[in-house]
Amino acid sequence: MSDALTAGEIVLALAVIALLVRLGAMVYRTRSLSREGNLAVMATRYPNGSWRTGMVRYRPDRLEWFTFRTLRLTPERIWKRGEFVLGSRNALDSSELPRAMTGDAVAVDVECAVERFSIAMAPADYTALRSWSESAPPGLRSQGY
């Protein structure tokens, strides 16, 4: 019986260590990504799809979107600033909220080149995104305002 208990304790200890390593890697990834620009939580949804929550990083000429699901330091999606056109803002009710978002998130339809999708963000993060989009220097400004 003591051998089984010892094996169970070892498995439990390994699971806790694996969880702590994963948590540490996520913190390291977030800190690494934030060193190169401001981050905000943003969910994306393509037509007939579900919400995918991640982080968006503002760059002078583009937006970079990183999913929460991986530990990669490279963005999953990149949208060019001059092609990123924000539609009107809509409030989301609690049944429509993406995972990892609480409170009064807003949804916005987006067109970027040939892509059409929706994003969801906290209102303050949306205001920052709208400001970033509208303050593009000449040559990078989209025509969707």
Q: What is the mean pLDDT of residues 117-127?
A: 92
Q: Answer whether 142's CB lies under 8 Å from 85's CB.
A: yes
Q: Residue 22's pLDDT is what?
A: 87
Q: Residue 2's pLDDT is what?
A: 59
Architecture of domain 38-134: Roll (2.30)
pLDDT digits (tens, 9 = 90+) for 68-88: 877 788 899 999 988 888 998
- Report the chain's C-alpha Rg in angstroms: 19
Alpha carbons 129 and 49: distance in angstroms, whole number: 23
Q: Residue 17's pLDDT is what?
A: 93
For residues 137 and 10, which has the higher predicted lDDT (pLDDT)?
10
Domain boundary assignment for the chain: 1-36, 38-134
Whole-structure pTM value: 0.73
In the structure encoding, which two tokens stand for residue 109, read together?
């339809």
